[in-house]
Amino acid sequence: MALATAAPRGQQADPGTPAFEAETLKHFQALLQRDTSSPPGNEIRAVEYLKEVLDAEGIPYQVFAKDPQRPNLVVRMKGNGKKKPVLIMGHTDVVTVDPKKWTFPPFGGTVDGGYVYGRGTVDDKDNLVAALMLVLHIKRAGIALDRDVILLAEAGEEGAPDVGAQFMADNHLDAIDAEFCLAEGGGVVRSGGKVRQANIGTTEKEPRPVEIIVTGPAGHGSVPNQNSAVLAVSAAVTKVGQWKPPLRLNETTASYFKRLATMAEPAVAQQYRALLNPDPKVHGPAEDWMLVNEPGHWSMTHTSLVPTIITTGFRYNVIPSEAKATFDVRLHPDENQDTFLEQLRKVINDPKVEVRWARDRYRPAGGSKLTTEAYTVLEAMVKKHYDTVALPTMGTGATDMSNIRAKGPQCYGIGPATDTEDGQKGFSAHSDQERILVDELHRFVRFQYDVVMELARTK
Ligand SMILES: [Zn+2]
C-alpha cells in the first residue's frame, strides 16, 4: 500500500489544479482497488487506506465499529462554533460483482478513454474521495471555518445500515450531529453529452415490504378446489396490482414537476402541469399517462406496491395448503402507516387473506426543507458548475440519509454528472459494470468543495 505523500506546507494545490486532480485520481483509484463488496463488506480495507492518508497529514479521526471488519470513520475539521456542523457522508462499501461481465477488472480502477472503471465509481467512492480531498485541502490550506466540517466514511450502506448509518445515528450521534448533511442520492443528468438537469435529493420514500398469506385445505390436484390458497393469493395479487393509491404531492415533488415542465418537450410538460392541477379530472389522466410512460415519476407521487415474490406449491398434483406473496411497498412520506394495512385489506376484500408488514420500519421516511441556507447554496453552486437549474427530488429508493434525517439534520443528496446513455449500456450504479467520466469526477469534487466552503468557511 503506497503512502500518500503530503504536499509541503504552503504549497498546497487548489481544487481544479492539475496537481489536485492527480491526487484525487490517485486516492480514487486506491479506494476502488480495495474490494469492499457487500456482503461481506470488509470496509476495513477502505478505512485502513483513509487512515494512512490522514495520518500522513496529521489529521485526527475516530473509528466506530459494531463489527470490527466493518468500521465507520469520522473526521472532524474544527470550526469556531459560530454555526452548527455540516456532515459529508460517503459509503465505503459497494455492491457485489460478477467479474465475467467486466471488460476491465472490477477492483482495478483502470483509466481508459476518459473514464475510470470499477465498482464504486459512481456508488459511492466518488462522494467518498470528494469528501477526503475536501478535508485534506482544509487542513493544508489552513482554512478558517465557522462550523465544523465532519466526514463520515460509513459502512453497510448496501443493505446493512445496522453496521453503518443506523448504528452511527443510534449510538454515536454526538460524533456526527450536524445542521446539514450531504450524501449520495442526487446527481446531474447528461444526455447527448450535455447537462440536462441536476437532481438534489431532498426526500425519499420509505421501504417497508408487506406480505399476504392464505392457508387452506390441501388436496389432490385432480379435484378442483375453489377455496385453494393458490387461487386466493392469486386473486389478491391481481386486486392489489389494479389498485392505484392516491396521488400525493409535497413541497419537493410540486417544485420538481413545476420546474421540469419548463424544461421538457411541450407534450410531456403538459402532463406535468396537469399532474399539479388539483382537479381529479385533470390530474387523473396525467397519472395514468405517467404510470405507463414514466413509472419512476409515478412512483415519486404515490405509494407503490409491486409484487416481487410468490411462494407456494411443491409438486404439480398437490394443492398446497399455503400460499404467500410479498410486495415491495415504497410508502410515500405522507402515507399514514397506521391505517395503510387496513386500506389494503379493504382492497383485497377477502377475510381468508392475512395481510401484514414483512418487517419493522428500518429506514424512516423524512424530508428536508427547500428554504434552508444549504439548499440555497446548492442551487447557486449547481448554476455555477453545471449551468442548469437544481431540481429538488424525491428518491423512490432509500438512502442512508433517512437514518440521519430522522435525528434532525437537513440532508441533501448530490452526485456527479452521468450520461443517461451510459445507464442504458449497463455502466450505472449496481449495473453489470460501473464507470465515471474522469472530467465529471473532478467537476463534482469542485462542486462539493464550493458548496461546503460557502456553508462553512469564515468570510
Ligand atoms: Zn450508494
158 Cα–ligand 1 center, Å: 7
230 Cα–ligand 1 center, Å: 38
128 Cα–ligand 1 center, Å: 10
138 Cα–ligand 1 center, Å: 25
279 Cα–ligand 1 center, Å: 38
Closest Cα partner for 291 from 303, 299, 279? 299
131 Cα–ligand 1 center, Å: 15
122 Cα–ligand 1 center, Å: 8
124 Cα–ligand 1 center, Å: 5
- Give the contacts of 199 (CB within 8 A, at least 6 positions apart): 186, 187, 188, 189, 390, 391, 393, 413
130 Cα–ligand 1 center, Å: 14
What fold characterizes domain 18-204+367-456? Aminopeptidase (3.40.630)
**pLDDT tens per residue across span 412-432:** 999 999 999 998 899 988 889
Rounded CA separation 446/283 (Å): 40
Rounded CA separation 251/280 (Å): 19
Instruction: Indicate if 206-357 has the same CATH topology as 18-204+367-456.
Output: no
Residue 120 has pLDDT above 70, yes or no: yes
**pLDDT tens per residue across span 284-327:** 999 999 999 999 999 999 999 999 999 999 999 999 999 999 99
CATH of the domain spanning 206-357: 3.30.70.360
Full-model pTM: 0.89
91 Cα–ligand 1 center, Å: 7
61 Cα–ligand 1 center, Å: 23
Instruction: Please compute the mean of the pLDDT values over residues 153-166 and round it to a whole number.
Output: 95
- Amino acid letter at 129? V
**pLDDT tens per residue across span 193-236:** 999 999 999 999 999 999 999 999 999 999 999 999 999 999 99
**pLDDT tens per residue across span 238-264:** 999 999 999 999 999 999 999 999 999
Rounded CA separation 303/281 (Å): 20
- Give the contacts of 121 (CB within 8 A, at least 6 positions apart): 32, 434, 435, 436, 441
DSSP annotation of 205 = -
Give the three-class secondary structure for 37.
strand
CB 425 within 8 A of CB 433: no
Query: Rounded to 5 degrees, what are φ and ψ at 357?
Result: -65, 140
Domain boundary assignment for the chain: 18-204+367-456, 206-357
Q: How many CA atoms lie within 13 A of 270 on its CB side?
A: 5
218 Cα–ligand 1 center, Å: 45
